[in-house]
Structures are given as structure tokens and as C-alpha cells.
Structure 1
Amino acid sequence: MPRRSNSGQRRRAQRPKGVLHGPGGASGDTFRCAGCRLEVPLAAPGTAHRNHCPHCLASRHVDRKIPGDRAADCGGRMRALCLTTRPDGEWLLVHQCLACGELSTNRTAGDDNARALVRLAVRPLADTRMPVRALIGL
């Protein structure tokens, strides 16, 4: 999804991370997705580090406070719940850890599956528990 920029707001630059993904802490250029088990390249357009699968949008609970710090002890699979946006229009994925229940947000990458992103974006419209009148009123 293209990122919109407001003329009055400046986007903060991302810090490059020296994260080691390979076995035994060795440097690697791919990782295996916890959801669909596909090999995922670490290079992601639009972000300094990849933290979710571009195909199924699943992630792994490895970061604690700062994206890329790899300080979490949980390691559980995180599923994409929904999307949210920043004030500048950038889309963020909201993930929930299936092991500990923690919520986190992750920036979308330029190569994320557009169909999967739209499916998350329209999920509230498909929920029959939410009255359509309430959505129209928003």
C-alpha cells in the first residue's frame, strides 16, 4: 500500500538493526514463517527490518519494547488481528501472541499481500455482531 505523507509532518527515520537471524546467532538472509512455513526474505521494502510474513501476515513474538530488539522470551506465534493507521496514513498490523496474549503493532511492508491486508481491513464489515447502522454512523 502506498504511504501518504502530510506536508506538515516529518516521518521519523528508522534505525538500522544489527539482528542475527541464522542458526546459533549467525547472520542469515531468510527465516521460516511460523504460520505458512514459507521461506521469507529479511529484506523488506519500506521498512528497516522485517518482522512478519508478507504472505499470511503471521509473526513470532521475539521483540519486547523496541522493534528489532529480539528481547522477548516468549517466542510464540503471533496472528494478525486487524489494521490500524498512524496520523500520517501509514498502515500498521495489530498482532496478538497466541502463547501469552500480548498485543503489538508492526509496520506494513511494501511487499505484503494486498489481498490479505484488505481482508483484515474489511473484517469489521463482515462481523454480523456489529450493527451496520453503527458503522454507517461512524
Structure 2
Amino acid sequence: MADFQQGASRVSHPRNPLNTSTFSCVRCRLTVPVATADGGQRNHCPSCLHSRHVLDQDTGGPSTCRGAMSPIAIAVPRAGDWTVIHRCVRCDELASDPVREDDNQLVVMRMAVRPLAQPPFPLEAFGAL
């Protein structure tokens, strides 16, 4: 859910209330196609993983918030597919979107290992085990 460009070509897209085929990233301004190489639909930037809050998670319809969505974590549900967790910087709503094969692998891995690299307790406690 990124900042959509004016004059972008229109396509039918059930999850994208603005029905555009490209969007401009809210953070890095990269022009991003909504369709992915694997045939899926994307709503986050493949370079920096940021998004725009355009869908209401409760109703599934359009959101009036339009705040920037920051990637805060990677989740791996039981199905095994990785998911980017976003938090809206304006209203704090959480949203998730599947990691796509063309997403920046370095950014995805950095987010995935961050809890191990920055634990909420001192690692020295493990030295005594």
C-alpha cells in the first residue's frame, strides 16, 4: 500500500481499492508494479518493504488512513510461507503481506534475524549453561 501515482494505468485488482497497476513507494519512491513475477499481487515495495495503509484490516475495504506502513517483522505461519508484518505509523494498525520472490533478500533476512541479534536480555546468561 504505497503512494499511488497519478495517471497510472488501470487494471482490475480485488484487493487494491485504487485499481492501479503501479505505485510509487512511500519511502524510497521506486515505481513498483502491483503484479509480481510469480503471478501474485503486491502491496509493498520490493526494495525497502514499506507500504501505504489503503486497506482496512477489519472490513477488508478501503482505509481512509493512508498512513505509511513500516515493516516491523517477518512472520512464518505454520504453512511455511514468510510474511512481512507492517505497522501503520499514523494509526498503529497491523497488516501482513506475503514475502515475494523479488523482495530484497538482504532486507528480509535482516528483519528475520533481528530478534536473535538484539535479544531483550543479555546473551552472557547463556555462557553459564
Same fold (TM over 0.5): yes
User: Are the counterparts in 1 of residues 17 and 61 from structure 2 also a CA contact under 8 Å?
Assistant: no
* Aligned partner of 1:121 among 112, 117, 123: 112
Q: Distance in 1 between matches of 2:47 and 2:27?
A: 9
* Partner residue in 1 for 2:96: 105
User: Are the counterparts in 2 of residues 60 and 78 from structure 1 also a CA contact under 8 Å?
Assistant: yes
User: Are the counterparts in 2 of residues 124 and 130 from structure 1 also a CA contact under 8 Å?
Assistant: no
Q: TM-score, normalised by structure 2?
A: 0.75
Q: Secondary structure at the match of 1:116?
A: helix
- Provide structure 2 residue ranges, at least 5 long, that are not aligned to the other structure: 1-12
Identity %: 37
- Provide structure 1 residue ranges, at least 5 long, that are not aligned to the other structure: 1-15, 22-26
* Partner residue in 1 for 2:70: 79
The 1:60/1:112 distance shift into structure 2, 3 A limit, reads same
User: Are the counterparts in 1 of residues 17 and 54 from structure 2 also a CA contact under 8 Å?
Assistant: no
| CA deviation vs aligned residue, 1:33-86 (integer Å, no higher than 9, x gap) | 00111101111134632110000000111111379x551110000100010112
Would you say how many aligned residue pairs link Structure 1 and Structure 2?
114
Q: Distance in 2 between matches of 1:128 and 1:85?
A: 19
Counterpart of 1:53 in structure 2: which amino acid? C
The 1:20/1:103 distance shift into structure 2, 3 A limit, reads closer
Q: CA RMSD in A?
A: 2.6
Deviation at 1:18, TM superposition (A): 6.8
Q: TM-score, normalised by structure 1?
A: 0.71
The 1:88/1:18 distance shift into structure 2, 3 A limit, reads closer
| CA deviation vs aligned residue, 1:73-109 (integer Å, no higher than 9, x gap) | 1000010001011212100111000011111111111
Q: How does 1:9-24 map to 2 (within 5 A)?
A: 17=14, 19=16, 21=18
